[in-house]
Structure 1
Amino acid sequence: MQNSKQQAITQHTSKPGVILAVLAAAGITSSLTQTLVIPLVGELPKLFAADPSVTAWAVTITLLTGAVGMPILGKLADTYGKRRMLLIALLPLIVGSVICATAPNITMMILGRGLQGIATGMVPLGISLLHDVLPPKRVGTAIALMSSSMGIGGALGLPASAAVIQYVSWRGLFWIDFAIAGIIFVLIFVLIPKPHHTPIYAPFDFLGAIGLGGALLCLLLGIIKGSSWGWSSAGIIGLFVGAVVLTLLWGWWELRHTNPLVDLRITRRRNVLVTNIASIFIGFAMYAQSLLLPQLMELPTSTGYGLGQTMLQMGLWMAPSGFAMMAVSSLGAKLTARRGAKTTLICGALVMAVGYGCASLLMHSLIGLMISSCIGSMGTGLAFGAMPTLIMNGVPPTEKASSNSFNTVMRSIGTSVSSAVIAAILAGTSITVRGSSIPTLTGFRTGLLAGCLMAIIAAVIALLISAKSQRNAR
């Protein structure tokens, strides 16, 4: 009955294509926000007269606030409505963009970036909302396209940001982000229908939110800062111990709360659990490519293997990968409809592995690396489109947003581990030239093989998903 009401609302307010376009634009905006500061990282110490270890937080803080904010937004969305929480998630992005654009010092820049990071939760919220407001026959393709919006935003963010910095100003980056976020807010408010939703008046699990937030902060901060602080330092060991202790206490509390932030009884269901585990490895494999290929393109040709591209040129070479990810979304939806989301996830992971294999063989060619990045992104698009379907088919309607957000957190953990491992591989194989540390060809090849291995492991794990998840149930 509720689904029929939702579909009736959709048909009388907005066309499915309009809904998909608006939510996909929101996802692209969220992803673009994560990458727009990357071309600026090297300039931040000069702009704010601050130490590089401090300015690096302009990137780190968005990963942390995004990971902590996603499960909270997801739970609130299941309680008070996904459309409402999408609008609320845009507010810190809008405010954060203004703070960054006018930041007089690095402290305000980090504060603004932290607020922007909260908007990362828009992608899983948008995917869950699509499942509620679109006709069943449109859901599969829509979810795949919405999932690919993260790749599109990331691919477009690098060249667009580099161009704005070069031809306008770095502050212009954030004013543009502010304008785009404001437009998306208006479009969602006007064009996205209000699904029939009765708020579930239950006490919010504040202690669970604090516990999960604390555990994620300790874990991700330990992973991100391990190489710079030292993996055996007291600070890093303390963070990892704190993460374990807080996770155990949080799990004990969640199993006893009447309205837990994350229903662990649901997340330990076989298909949900296996999908979440596979997501960690998919996140690793996806992020390793975005770390390795740009560096390889930008290293000077004097190294013998670098391709000597500027930041803008590198971004343009990588941009097609985002469109490849979008192009494969409809194919992924058809594969899921015919063979099931499990098959799509396995195929996606294996295609990612092929992309890494091609990159390791074509490291001296810009065209070869572009093709390799497109293959890897196509695999990522297939996998990203399958995972939300597997999650939402395995949970009750009242847990769709929170469970999908938690799955995205698992991918975030994978990307953080990827960042630490790839950095360690490149640092461990670097050589010093004129006082500068330069990654070697062996380091890049080892990193590519590590990404390939993680993708293969994800495919093997996905084999453990039971056959009943093959149904593309609404």
Structure 2
Amino acid sequence: MRIGSTRSGRYTRRRPVWVIVAVLVAVEVISAFETSMVYAAIPTFIAEFHSDAATVGWAVTAFLLVAAASAAVCGRLGDMYGRERVLIVLLVAAATGSLISAVGDSIGSIVAGRAVQGVAGAILPLCIGLAREHLPAAKVPVAVAVISGSAVAAGSASLLVAGVMLDHASWHLIFVVAAAYAVGAVALVAFVLPWRPPTGTTEKVDYLGAVAFVPAIAAVLLGVNKSTAWGWSDPATLGLVLGGLAALALWVLWELRATSPIVNVRQFRDRKFSLTMLATLAISVGPVGVTTMIVPIVLQSPTSAPVGLGLTPTNAGWLSFVGSMFGFVCTPLSGRIAATVGARTSMLIGSALFLAGNALLLVVHDSVAGMMVMVVTVSVATAFAYTALPNLLVEAVPERATSEAAGTNAVIRTGGSGIGVSIATMLLSSTALAGGLNTLGGLNAIVVMLSVTSLAAIGFTLLIPRRR
């Protein structure tokens, strides 16, 4: 079946369904690669720049905070100017950010480039929107599942690809390859996808809400990160933390008054919606955001360190990739459970598996086989949680509010991951030995953090009303 000229001649070219889906999957791969590739390079950056986990962690945090704002804004921009056009702009920006990081010779330049790359956080929502726009309604559910599933698989594969580059070339090449792939994705969108004029929207984009959100969160996190070096009584620490919290309070007030807010704070009046968002925040600050960061550090740290298995980046990437594929395979099972007995059950299973994975990290961090079991457990947990969250939203809000609720969830999920990574890297650096070697005390502190957030997710999920 070809799509392209059957809807009042609005498409500029005709393409079979499978071609459209293949292009959208290929484009989404760059988003997943940009998100995950730096996790494998964190140990390398610490050694290369004689830095610590808290400083290097900003290469992840900066990306995630910008990604949260990008995901919130670019959906509406796609409605106004055309999703294909916005997607090309994002891909060009992602390529530019990758080049900034590639040519840099300091952790500061890498962080700056990663912040620009963060716009890639909106690629997946735009690809899902394009699937709904271009495909027959009967084909959309399968297409969306394939596109979303490719994000999980590509994120795992990026750890392996990055590991091979770190072992056999240079960390610079990670960003060069990402930039080249983004340019290729631009060509696919420009010359293969069907295009049509934007549908338009009467809603205004809340630019102020999007712009204010990122620096407010970043100020709080920077103050927390620097508290170890500066001290909590230092005026700079207090100024950053209190100033950031004040900015967040003003941001909430602004969102309450905005006609088209980035985050519809009023939706939190609904009990099921608010509990779903709180569960999202708990797993994002905890296992979803932090595990992908801590696993490469444990695997790649030298055996001479208190915590470390001494694997090469390539071997660590293989372990993470193979383990993550178990979660990818379990995604359909989680979906069937959610459809049969409700998404609440899937979320409980995922949160409980996260708790088990935390315990494994504490017990088997000195065993390669044990870490493989831990990665498999957390990957299956992620599959269940990621399948449950959108279904919980569908159960909680009316159909007309689905997109808005999904946008709010994306902001909380991505922003929460940035917060979690920042806190975890601060815990590691505050307990590290000379030379940046991580200690068992730092790992234990992170396991406690992950366990508390997993228990919080279980608690919030238990309070969610059962599906009728």
Q: Which moved more, 1:202-211 or 1:140-149?
A: 140-149
Q: What code does the residue aligned with 1:465 have?
A: I
What CA deviation, in whole Å up to 9, does each residue of 1:212-266 have, x standing for no partner?
Answer: 3443333444455554554553333323322332233233333333333333323
What CA deviation, in whole Å up to 9, does each residue of 1:378-409 have, x standing for no partner?
Answer: 11122112223333554566655554233122
How many residues of Structure 1 are paired with residues of Structure 2 in the alignment? 460
Q: Would you say the 8 A contact 1:133–1:195 is kept in 2?
A: no
Map 1:293-312 to 2 at 5 A. Answer: 293-302=295-304, 306-312=308-314
Q: What code does the residue aligned with 2:270 have?
A: R
Match of 1:317 among 297, 316, 319: 319
* Equivalent residue, structure 2, for 1:158: 159
Q: Would you say the 8 A contact 1:324–1:377 is kept in 2?
A: yes
CA distance in 1, matches of 2:162, 2:176: 12
* Equivalent residue, structure 1, for 2:262: 261
CA distance in 2, matches of 1:28, 1:333: 22
Q: How has the CA–CA distance of structure 1 residues 51 and 336 changed in structure 2, closer, same or farther, with 3 Å as cutoff?
A: closer
What CA deviation, in whole Å up to 9, does each residue of 1:121-145 have, x standing for no partner?
Answer: 2233334555666666665565555
Q: Would you say the 8 A contact 2:98–2:117 is kept in 1?
A: yes
* Equivalent residue, structure 1, for 2:369: 367
Q: Would you say the 8 A contact 1:298–1:311 is kept in 2?
A: yes
Q: How has the CA–CA distance of structure 1 residues 56 and 334 changed in structure 2, closer, same or farther, with 3 Å as cutoff?
A: closer
What CA deviation, in whole Å up to 9, does each residue of 1:297-336 have, x standing for no partner?
Answer: 2333345763221222222222213322322222222222
CA distance in 2, matches of 1:349, 1:293: 18
Q: What code does the residue aligned with 1:201 have?
A: T
Cα shift at 1:33? 1.4
Cα shift at 1:278? 0.9
CA distance in 2, matches of 1:21, 1:291: 29
Q: Would you say the 8 A contact 2:37–2:174 is kept in 1?
A: yes
Q: Would you say the 8 A contact 2:73–2:205 is kept in 1?
A: no
Are 1:381 and 2:380 counterparts?
A: no
CA distance in 1, matches of 2:127, 2:221: 25
Cα shift at 1:44? 5.9
Cα shift at 1:370? 1.0
Q: Would you say the 8 A contact 1:77–1:401 is kept in 2?
A: no
CA distance in 1, matches of 2:230, 2:152: 31
Q: Which moved more, 1:255-264 or 1:143-152?
A: 143-152
* Equivalent residue, structure 2, for 1:412: 414
CA distance in 2, matches of 1:446, 1:104: 32
Cα shift at 1:281? 1.2
Are 1:448 and 2:447 counterparts?
A: yes
CA distance in 1, matches of 2:51, 2:450: 34
Q: Which moved more, 1:173-182 or 1:299-308?
A: 299-308
CA distance in 1, matches of 2:149, 2:221: 24
What CA deviation, in whole Å up to 9, does each residue of 1:388-436 have, x standing for no partner?
Answer: 3333554566655554233122123332343244345445655x4xx44
Q: Would you say the 8 A contact 1:143–1:388 is kept in 2?
A: no
Cα shift at 1:93? 0.7
Q: How has the CA–CA distance of structure 1 residues 453 and 320 changed in structure 2, closer, same or farther, with 3 Å as cutoff?
A: farther
Q: Would you say the 8 A contact 1:75–1:262 is kept in 2?
A: no
SS in 2 for 1:177: helix
Q: How has the CA–CA distance of structure 1 residues 229 and 291 changed in structure 2, closer, same or farther, with 3 Å as cutoff?
A: farther
Q: What code does the residue aligned with 2:113 have?
A: G
Q: Which moved more, 1:205-214 or 1:280-289?
A: 205-214
Cα shift at 1:48? 8.7
Q: Would you say the 8 A contact 1:144–1:386 is kept in 2?
A: no
Q: How has the CA–CA distance of structure 1 residues 404 and 59 changed in structure 2, closer, same or farther, with 3 Å as cutoff?
A: same
Q: Would you say the 8 A contact 1:227–1:420 is kept in 2?
A: no
Q: Which moved more, 1:255-264 or 1:322-331?
A: 255-264
* Equivalent residue, structure 2, for 1:337: 339
Q: How has the CA–CA distance of structure 1 residues 205 and 114 changed in structure 2, closer, same or farther, with 3 Å as cutoff?
A: same
Q: What code does the residue aligned with 1:300 have?
A: P
CA distance in 1, matches of 2:299, 2:53: 23
* Equivalent residue, structure 2, for 1:244: 245
CA distance in 1, matches of 2:132, 2:381: 23
- Ranges in structure 1 where 5+ consecutive residues have no aligned partner: none
Q: How has the CA–CA distance of structure 1 residues 54 and 116 changed in structure 2, closer, same or farther, with 3 Å as cutoff?
A: same
CA distance in 2, matches of 1:23, 1:164: 26
Are 1:458 and 2:457 counterparts?
A: yes
* Equivalent residue, structure 1, for 2:199: 198
CA distance in 2, matches of 1:442, 1:403: 39
* Equivalent residue, structure 2, for 1:233: 234
CA distance in 2, matches of 1:46, 1:361: 26
Are 1:67 and 2:68 counterparts?
A: yes
CA distance in 2, matches of 1:37, 1:342: 33
CA distance in 2, matches of 1:440, 1:158: 24
Q: Which moved more, 1:248-257 or 1:345-354?
A: 248-257
Are 1:98 and 2:94 counterparts?
A: no
Q: Which moved more, 1:13-22 or 1:233-242?
A: 13-22
CA distance in 1, matches of 2:429, 2:108: 29
Cα shift at 1:290? 2.3
TM-score when normalising by structure 2: 0.82
TM-score when normalising by structure 1: 0.81
CA distance in 1, matches of 2:257, 2:232: 35
* Equivalent residue, structure 1, for 2:185: 184
* Equivalent residue, structure 1, for 2:294: 292
Q: How has the CA–CA distance of structure 1 residues 387 and 233 changed in structure 2, closer, same or farther, with 3 Å as cutoff?
A: farther
Q: Would you say the 8 A contact 1:362–1:368 is kept in 2?
A: yes
Q: Would you say the 8 A contact 2:37–2:162 is kept in 1?
A: yes
CA distance in 2, matches of 1:141, 1:345: 22
Cα shift at 1:90? 1.5
* Equivalent residue, structure 2, for 1:207: 208
- Ranges in structure 2 where 5+ consecutive residues have no aligned partner: 1-5
Q: How has the CA–CA distance of structure 1 residues 365 and 19 changed in structure 2, closer, same or farther, with 3 Å as cutoff?
A: farther
CA distance in 2, matches of 1:148, 1:408: 16
Cα shift at 1:377? 1.1
Q: Would you say the 8 A contact 2:334–2:346 is kept in 1?
A: yes
CA distance in 1, matches of 2:154, 2:223: 27
Q: Would you say the 8 A contact 2:50–2:435 is kept in 1?
A: no
Across the aligned residues of Structure 1 and Structure 2, the Cα RMSD in angstroms comes to 3.8
CA distance in 2, matches of 1:81, 1:339: 38
